[in-house]
Structure 1
Amino acid sequence: MPSESSSSPAPMPVRRALLSVYDKTGIVDFARRLTALDVELISTGGTAATLRDAGLSVTDVAEVTGVPEVLDGRVKTLHPAIHAGLLARRTHEEDQAALDEYDYAPIDLVACNLYPFREVIQDPETDLDTAMAHVDIGGPAMIRAAAKNHAGVGVVTTPGDYATVADELEENEARLSPGTRRALAEQAFALTAAYDRSIHGYLSGSGEATGEGSGPGEDLPNPYQVHLPRSKSLRYGENPHQDGALYGSPERFFEKLHGEDLSYNNLLDTSGALALIDEFRDAGPTCAILKHTNPCGVATAGTLEAAWQQAFATDTQSPYGGIVVVNQALDRATAEAIDEIFTEIVIAPEFESGVLDLLTERDRRRVIRHRAASRESDRLAVRSVLGGLLVQSRDPVLPPSTELREHWDVPTARAPSEQEEADLDFAWRVVKHVKSNAIVYVRDQSTLGIGAGQMSRIDASELAVFKAQKSELDLTGSVVASDAFFPFADGLEAAAAEGARAAIQPGGSIRDDEVIQAADRHDVAMILTGRRHFRH
């Protein structure tokens, strides 16, 4: 905390403190130290009970206000006896006279934190009534009043500051310096601002308050506001000459168990890996290998080890230094197979006995436990552009296969076989996570060739074929997925020439009829999904 300037007036001692906290971490020790300084403690409900259970003397707020808590505790501290005590200016005779007239007394210190609104709304099962029940009213009012009058009042909003504040009070005859009170006020206003933004963000994104909107984009927040705490500073950004930091709470989705801190690029890759594997939450044993957020290979098989081997076979060169993610507990046999090459990050929901011991032998490797990402979480995707931000609704996880296939259209003379349909489903889930333009060849629930990020769709197709040939994989009997429509028949014909027997694409080109006719000429079954999945 900043120290007092030599030119500042002598601060007033703390004589009365109001403690009202939802998170009671450290509050008893803080209250004991205040009591040792002869500070009178005022408190509410559960906080008062906690302090009394610890043997401390506490005055109930109801005794100060002369009014009991009402509306199931929704109104406790909203009373002039509290807010006049907080807002009265210590150097204004009129304010002090008003306190005397109504028999109110100053409150010199507030320790307050708020109902956990942000944590509650992260649960996808939370409904509007539950969310609104966790909107704190009295807490923010007290915090803002104390922070407004920080010339005479200290306000502590996080348990992490209790010890520092108590130390200063003990060292300075129960006084807080003007610099400390200002620093605490800054934190207080940051807290209430973030709290209100969370509430606004929830209401504007919940569908309850926005209605159907009057046009494209009208259901997105207006204005768009975000206030996230800096979770950690990073060694650098995308490149060593760029600064980087992580904001928010990604620990909701994953936990690092071993290795160095995740870098900027590691975090991007991890986010991409979790988004991809979430498509296979309901599938059999599935393994995906990624590099620079693009999948190198993905497979679903009878065992996790077989899935790893098939995913790795797609591209045996690129996975070095990449990311491996699986959709079920990582077993010893699969871990040993992964360990044969250097893999920078290994991600699994759980690890069987002995697996962590093996994986943590390499100091340079990061090991992460992932939690199934909610299909409704982080509804908005945000990217910076020159002069502003682009905000869009996130491309959601595809539904289970039975539901997904209900929306497919088969325009070709031949419908896909049962095996082809399963492979098309698999390929569609993978191509959604490949940077555009994207082409993916699949057979038997395993990728064979992936073409990513090319300037034309035919280039992406040629790259996918080249990657398959480089890995000595035959495309005969495969299926092919395209993240957007084939603009010309040549892309479909090229896939057929390589041995593809079925294709999946959104459709929507003015030349769809030509592409369908080309598919029929080559006896290729084709699915039109009606929805593209660009990933720029």
Structure 2
Amino acid sequence: MTDFHPVRRALLSVSDKTGLVDLGKALSARGVELLSTGGSAKTLREAGLDVRDVAEVTGFPEMMDGRVKTLHPMVHGGLLALRDNDAHLAAMETHGIGAIDLLVVNLYPFEETVAKGADYDTCIENIDIGGPAMIRAAAKNHAFVNVVVDVEDYDALLAELEANDGQTSYAFRQGLAQNAYARTAAYDAAVSNWMAGALNLQAPRRRAVAGRLAQTLRYGENPHQEAAFYLDGSDRSGVATARQVQGKELSYNNINDTDAAFELVSEFDPADGPAVAIIKHANPCGVARGATLKEAYQKAFDCDRTSAFGGIIALNMPLDADTAREIVQIFTEVVIAPGASEEAVEVFATKKNLRLLLTEGLPDPQDSAFTTRQVSGGMLVQDKDVGHRDMADLKVVTKNAPTEDQMADLLFAWKVAKHVKSNAIVYVKDGQTVGVGAGQMSRLDSATIAGVKAQRMAEGLELPESLAKGSAVASDAFFPFADGLLEAAANGATCVIQPGGSMRDDEVIKAADEAGLAMVFTGMRHFRH
């Protein structure tokens, strides 16, 4: 086998016609014979190119609504034949099989069809069969055959042919083959995961996960770790689909924290008013509602000004100029919002390193999806935590019932606690977090830390008492003992929301009554490890 091989005959059969005519013209100018099918052949002919139909080569017309057109030895023999194998060459001559040196295929738009909400039968009809079969055949025979599955590789192919007088190198074909197998794997993953959902299979025997490279990152969580960012193909609003208006390239930690911030702020419906979340190391250091977006930001900032420095800010409404002017007063890594006014963008332009991401909307907090986490030798898969509770779902378990205002703060705190690393304790007052305790091994420690932060911030604001005075407190899981609850009361909390379900619930309820607290059970926990 020699390293370089010429491209004399190409088969072009694509769903996405972008760049097809230019590619066909460039190949034809090099004397490459063009084979094609259906719509691709029609497009090339309309551009004045000489194209031979695959049906003419196989001796069979396209049939069964296009389901059968390339599944034929005249095609697969041309792709799979080893050019340095005498027996293969003899078989080609005997049966009149011509070699195919280049395959250009992009597949039926299955992922796009699913994303549009098409019905089951329509999705089935958009599962490509001949395309993946040809791709895999050509990729297997990459010693001789080039296989291109992405429009963005057309220019690279033409550059390779130009540089090597109409030939391609083995290394080039290897790279194309690797990408081709990754494409068919991702395609099959999309089909199998869609079918698992359509059949309501909670734990299919095999689960495939795939992604498309969005960017290679400078490094991972730490400078000695290599990293990259991949897209899963969904159209969910968020960091993966956002448009970056300005600022430096996003880092691994930026992407992780921005996702956490935007998912949290999406819990708050814009119809109920502006909300802002400030995130640091994937935990909220301030979340608030306000009459205006500016007020919501100021209240979120006033929960923990120290931690907000260098943080990530997420808004549930388009960024306005007044809020932008407040944000630029301190160093912020990223701001993500559903949109921004021209004036707000101009304000941010004075801070060139500040990354501004704009989305088409908010992610639906009730979207069903699955999340993955790799462990040594395996992978954990679970449904996304879309659990929520409304007032009607809460059970008052103490002698004192929460007031209407307290209930509003309890539900606010509960939404925030869902996004805090467990063990999580969140103090809220008047639609504003005033203390957050995250990621501790003891729920008591989380309650203590959140209380210390509330006290420290009050001192910084020169207030006479802790911000937690008169607050509502949420615990993401039940209090196993009364100590954490009593710590919250000592820090100023007057009402509590927690899942309940501990074998010591009676002791905890008794302690709450003795402390004069109002407490409600949700019957649902929100562990976030």
Q: Distance in 2 between matches of 1:156 and 1:43?
A: 14
Deviation of 1:251 (Å):
5.6
Is 2:188 aligned against 1:196?
Answer: yes
Aligned twin of 1:431 = 417
Give how far 1:88 is off. Answer: 3.4
Q: Distance in 1 between matches of 2:449 and 2:173?
A: 62
Look up the SS of the partner of 1:347 in the other structure.
strand
**Which residue in 2 is equivalent to 1:483?**
476
**1:321 matched residue in structure 2:** 310
Contact 2:239 2:357 survives alignment (8 Å): no
Q: Secondary structure at the match of 2:48?
A: coil
Whether the aligned pair in 2 keeps the contact of 1:18 and 1:110 (CA below 8 Å) is yes
Query: Is the Cα–Cα contact under 8 Å of residues 239 and 259 in structure 2 kept in the other structure?
Result: no
1:89-108 residue pairs with structure 2 within 5 A? 89-108=82-101
Contact 1:201 1:225 in 2 (8 A): yes
> Which residue among 452, 460, 463 is the counterpart of 1:466?
452
- Alignment match of 2:384 (pick from 394, 400, 404): 394
Moved more, 437-446 or 406-415: 406-415
In structure 2, the partner of 1:290 is 279
Deviation at residue 315 of structure 1 after TM alignment: 1.6
Structure 1 window deviating more from structure 2 (466-475 vs 481-490): it is: 466-475
Which residue matches 1:410? 396
Larger deviation, residues 92-101 vs 447-456: 92-101
CA distance in 1 between partners of 2:303 and 2:3 (Å): 73
Structure 1 residues 251, 40: CA separation in 2 closer, same or farther (over 3 Å shift)? farther
* C-alpha spacing 1:167/1:331, structure 2 compared with 1 (3 Å): closer
The 8 Å contact of residues 328 and 351 in structure 2, kept in 1 or not, is answered as no
Cα deviation for residue 354 of structure 1 reads 0.8
Match of 1:5 in 2: none
C-alpha separation between the residues in 1 aligned to 2:342 and 2:163?
52
- Paired amino acid for 1:533: H
Question: 2:371: which partner in 1?
Answer: 381
Residue 443 in structure 1 maps to residue 434 in structure 2: no
Q: 1:13 to 1:456 in 2, by over 3 A?
A: closer
CA 1:359–1:155 in structure 2 vs 1: closer, same or farther (change >3 Å)? same
Cross-structure match for 1:266 = 254
* AA matched with 2:252: Y
SS of the residue corresponding to residue 195 of structure 2 reads helix
SS in 2 for 1:236: coil
Structure 2 gaps of 5+ residues are 233-237, 459-465
Q: Report the alpha carbon displacement of residue 231 of structure 1 after superposing the two structures with TM.
A: 2.9
Please say if residues 442 and 478 of structure 1, whose CA atoms lie closer than 8 Å, have aligned partners that are also in contact.
yes
TM-aligned CA distance change 1:190 to 1:489, over 3 Å: closer
Task: Please give the alpha-carbon distance, in whole angstroms, between the structure 1 residues aligned to 2:49 and 2:85.
Answer: 33
**How far did residue 452 of structure 1 move?**
1.8
Which position in structure 1 is the counterpart of 2:442? 456
Equivalence for 2:496: 503
The runs of 5 or more residues in structure 1 that have no matched partner are: 1-7, 211-218
1:299 is paired with a residue of what secondary structure?
strand
Name the counterpart of 2:353.
Answer: 364
Q: CA deviation at 1:148?
A: 2.7
1:122 Cα offset (Å): 4.7
Q: CA deviation at 1:372?
A: 2.2
SS at 2:286 equivalent: strand
Structure 2 residue corresponding to 1:220, chosen from 191, 198, 203: 203
**SS of alignment partner, residue 518 of structure 1:** helix
Which residue of 189, 193, 199 maps to 1:208?
199
Residue 300 of structure 2 aligns to a residue whose secondary structure is helix
> Are 2:227 and 1:239 aligned?
no
Report % sequence identity: 50
What is the rounded CA distance, in whole Å, between the counterparts of 1:164 and 1:316 in structure 2?
A: 50
Q: CA deviation at 1:154?
A: 2.4
2: CA distance between counterparts of 1:358 and 1:9? 60
Q: Give the aligned length.
A: 515
| Residue 126 of structure 1, CA deviation | 4.8
Q: For each residue in 1:144-194, what CA deviation from the matched residue of structure 2 results, as whole angstroms up to 9, or x when unmatched?
A: 222233344322222233233334435555433444334433332232223
Residues 13-56 of structure 1: per-residue CA shift (max 9 Å, x gap): 43322100122222211111111122221111221122122221
CA spacing shift, 1:44–1:512, aligned 2, 3 Å = same
Q: Comparing 86-95 with 449-458, which one deviates more in the overlay?
A: 86-95
CA distance in 1, matches of 2:375, 2:55: 53
1:4 counterpart residue number: none
Distance, in Å, in 2 between the alignment partners of 1:134 and 1:122 is 12
Report the AA paired with residue 245 of structure 1: A
What amino acid maps onto 2:152 in structure 1? G
The residue type equivalent to 1:394 in the other structure is: K
Take 1:99 and 1:387, find their aligned partners in 2: how far apart are those partners? 45
Deviation sequence 1:490-516 (CA, Å, 0-9, x none): 333333344433210000111111222
Kept in 2: contact 1:122–1:377 (CA 8 A): no
Cα 1:264–1:514, aligned 2, differ >3 Å: closer, same or farther? same
Deviates more, 1:68-77 or 1:341-350: 68-77
Question: Within 5 Å, which residues of 2 pair with 1:138-153?
Answer: 138-153=130-145
